[in-house]
Amino acid sequence: MFNRFMKSGLVALSVSLGMGLATVPLTNAQEMSVMVGGAPMLPSQNIIENAVNSRDHTTLVAAVQAAGLVDTLSGPGPFTVFAPTNRAFGQLPAGTVETLLEPGNIEMLQKVLTAHVLAGKYSAADLVERAEAAGGAFALTTVSGDTLGFQIIGGALYVIDENRGAARVTIADVNQSNGVIHVVNSVLVPN
């Protein structure tokens, strides 16, 4: 679909320097999309419908499928998802992903994945504003019941897990029909 618009000259590409966002207004679809993993993430589609198109999130998609969370993340939400890239999963100790994907570890996998999800829709501006209002950092409870901290470090938004691991938001505000995705460069590990 994207190539068809490129060939017909109906796509204008703009880059938002503040958060490193590439946005593509699609004239025919009347949608503003963000490019993630080489694919436009369409706001009219849900989290799962968009995520399966990102070549940078194949591990996350496989994990969501193995955990039986496809229906949940396709549901009405709204959800805020902090989506680790394949590279982020690759930084975990050797064998971690394979172990999590084993059928006997579904509860552990569900906990890890839902520790990346907030109930409600929080834009990057919302999170930054709340961090600034709280003196630089604040926390929210995830769908799994775990806690994520939010902090501005060097002008970038970071998400801090319960083990003090920090994930930088690399692509913010990828709007979905049932929430928003923020791409992060590390896997958030719950206690």
Q: Which pLDDT belongs to residue 33?
A: 82
C-beta atoms surrounding 133 within 10 Å: 9
Q: Which pLDDT belongs to residue 159?
A: 98
Average pLDDT, the chain: 86
The region that residue 122 occupies, defined by phi over 0 for left and psi between -120 and 50 for alpha, beta otherwise, is beta
Rg (CA), the chain: 16
DSSP run (H or E) holding 139: strand 137-141
Return the ∠ at Cα 14 (arms to 180 and 3), rounded to 5°.
Answer: 85
Q: Buried (b) or exposed (e) across 164-185, using 16+ Cβ within 10 A?
A: eeebebbbbbbbbbbbbbbbbb
Per-residue pLDDT of 105-136, as tens digits, reads 999 999 999 999 999 999 999 999 999 999 99
Q: Which pLDDT belongs to residue 18?
A: 33
Per-residue pLDDT of 17-55, as tens digits, reads 233 334 444 433 446 789 999 999 999 999 999 999 999
Instruction: Compute CA distances 110 → 79, 98, 145, 172, whole Å.
Output: 16, 14, 12, 24
Proportion of the chain above pLDDT 90, given as a percent: 82
Q: Which pLDDT belongs to residue 35?
A: 93
Q: Which pLDDT belongs to residue 31?
A: 63
Strands 39-41 and 79-84: unpaired
Q: Which CATH architecture has domain 43-184?
A: Roll (2.30)
Please check the confidence at residue 84 and state whether its pLDDT lies above 80: yes
Per-residue pLDDT of 133-150, as tens digits, reads 999 999 999 999 999 999
Q: Which pLDDT belongs to residue 169?
A: 98
> For 75-91, what is the mean pLDDT?
97
